[in-house]
Structure 1
């Protein structure tokens, strides 16, 4: 099982956990397993086309999966995925 690090903004959807484990041999399979256990994450991670939302970054052992093989990137049992939603906001500049 791969380990998935969950950012604070998504933790309510996984019962407040900082990390969860999920099965799969690719990034897509691991994330599908995560969504299968925590369905609320579906719309937060994936668009209607089944690809990652453009504002969601996923890293496999500190490498952005978009520069690897995307959702088809292979995942081993000792690997760690990190989900980082892009953040926006703040005060406008004067």
Structure 2
């Protein structure tokens, strides 16, 4: 099980939960399971998110492994310019 900390803008889409748990071994599985558990997250995820695993931001790539016991955050994708 992976505990995913959500940025504040997503919490209203998960019934106010700050942390949700999903079964996932990769970043792609994580996003799929989040949408399966909370379908209303589909729009924000499609719009672009970043996943931070133990402080390292994974901006793209759905095959990144999530080590057991990792600290995982789902964040709004930061865009530079």
Category of TM-score, reference length = shorter chain: 0.7 to 0.9
Q: CA RMSD in A?
A: 1.8
Length-normalised TM-score, structure 1: 0.73
More strand by percentage: 2
Length-normalised TM-score, structure 2: 0.83
Given the alignment, which residue of 47, 52, 62 partners 1:59? 52
Runs of 4+ in structure 1 off by over 4 angstroms are none
In structure 1, runs of 5+ residues without a counterpart are: 48-52, 88-94
Distance 2:77 2:66 in 1: 23
* Rg larger in structure: 1
Distance 1:46 1:24 in 2: 19
